[in-house]
Amino acid sequence: MQKTGQPTINDVARIAGVSKKTVSRVINNSPLLNGDTRQRVEKVIAEIGYIPNPQARALALRRNYLIGLVHDNPNAQTVMNVQRGMLEALQGTEFELVVRPLNRGAQSMMDDLRHFLERQRLFGVLLMPPISENDSIAKLCDEIGCRYVRMGSALLDEEARMVASNDREAVRGAVAFLIEQGHRRIGLVAGPHGFRSAKERRAGFEEALREAGIPLQRSLIADGDYTFESGLVAAERLLELTPRPTAIFSSSDTMAAGVMHAARQRGLEIPDDLSLIGFDDTPVAAHVWPPLTTVRWPSVSMGRSAALKLITALDDDPTAVEEPSLFLSTLVRRGSVAAPRE
């Protein structure tokens, strides 16, 4: 076959005196390069007129330049935040994002996921919680040969394959803040059973009470499923208690909005009659009245880091700076917390 004379990635690497992986990093705007190397490679690319061919490279790797986002999460805003972070990381690269919802309760879930991964021939995939908490799914990705990163509220895998937050510690600090304000009768709207995030947040709640010497009362814990409706129902049960709680920690902002609604239906003012803290720091937290004190979950940063872990997974440069695996959630103090009335 006659050569077309079109420059290849091998030509760029040879002239610039770097590896093909380094050239790939430059093409994909990887943050793992120093400025001098990037400029040298970019200069060679411009001089010889090299144009990346993602189709040819995909054939060579037997992978498409597609990054998957797999989720079964009832919080649409969280999914959007993760997607935003991933798109920020992929901007200006050859990679595109494919989003695939799953039903973790369906008997066909594993078959559905296998079919999706094999059909799309993904370069890599981010598994969101609670899907990410299933070790069988991680094993399936390994079996197929699809690199993955798991997202969660605690470390579930080796750091190269994880982006995790410190939910337990963050909630412990948030509830400690309520205790500092003088609250002793504090309710919990817990997350859904089977979610690691719900388990970690409840553990943080219980640890804060234990450290303050406050007995844990099961009557002050109501289950929710991260939806507005479940927060409303949980709050109705908690606020019917005598005496009722003077403060409530909600395991999500969406459920906290339901708590606010239930409180107002009873003529209770926030924070005068009831203090309230949520979790996530979704837009609703700043838009309700009063603005909601909440724990900011760094979902955008986690999505961005996960995508960068995936697209640089083939790099073996020992001098490269690794993407972080642990992201700290922080308390955002707004107007929904005050000292309890005497």
Decide if 106 is inside a domain: yes
pLDDT at 67: 94
* Residues counted in the chain: 342
The reply to whether 342 falls in a domain is no
178 and 265 in a common domain: yes
What is the Rg, in whole angstroms, of the alpha carbon atoms belonging to the chain? Answer: 24
Please name which of 173, 72, 210, 61 lies closest in space to residue 122, comparing C-alpha atoms. Answer: 61
Measured distance CA(80)–CA(85) in Å, rounded: 9
CATH number (domain holding residue 36): 1.10.260.40
- Do 176 and 284 share a domain, yes or no? yes
**126 within 8 A of 87, measured Cβ to Cβ:** no
C-alpha to C-alpha distance for 171 and 204, rounded to whole angstroms? 5
The Cα-based distances of 212 to 37, 202, 305 in angstroms read 54, 16, 36
Sheet holding 66-71, edge to edge: 96-101, 66-71, 124-127, 147-152, 162-165, 326-327
**Cα–Cα distance for residue pair 68/149, rounded to 1 Å:** 10
- Look at residues 245, 157, 170 and name the one whose alpha carbon lies nearest to residue 208: 170
Q: Are residues 303 and 285 in the same domain?
A: no
Task: Looking at the structure, tell me whether residues 305 and 241 fall in a common domain.
Answer: no
Separation of alpha carbons 298 and 153, rounded Å: 11
Beta-bridge partners for 223: 190
Residue 256 belongs to domain spanning: 167-297
Backbone φ and ψ for 25, nearest 5 degrees, come out as -60, -45
Query: Within this chain, do residues 219 and 274 fall inside the same structural domain, yes or no?
Result: yes
Q: Do 175 and 292 belong together in one domain?
A: yes
Q: What is the DSSP string of 202-235?
A: HHHHHHHHHHTTPPP-GGGEEE--SSHHHHHHHH
Same domain? For 128 and 233 the reply is no
Pairing between strand 293-296 and 330-332? antiparallel
Do 131 and 250 fall within a single domain?
A: no
pTM: 0.78
Instruction: State residue 51's pLDDT score.
Output: 65
Distances (CA, A) of 232 to 114, 171, 236, 331: 37, 21, 6, 23
| Domain contains 182 | yes
Mark the ranges of the chain whose per-residue pLDDT is less than 50: 1-3, 55, 58-61, 315-320
336 in a domain, yes or no? no
Q: How many domains does the chain divide into?
A: 3
Mark out the alpha helices in 31-187 (DSSP H runs).
Answer: 35-48, 54-61, 76-90, 109-120, 135-144, 167-180
Same domain for 67 and 216: no
Please give the order of strands across the beta sheet that includes 293-296: 221-223, 186-190, 247-250, 275-280, 293-296, 330-332
pLDDT at 175: 98
Burial class for 108, CB neighbours closer than 10 Å (0-12, 13-18, 19+): exposed
CATH code of 144's domain: 3.40.50.2300
Are 17 and 66 found together in one domain? no
Q: What is the pLDDT of residue 8?
A: 77
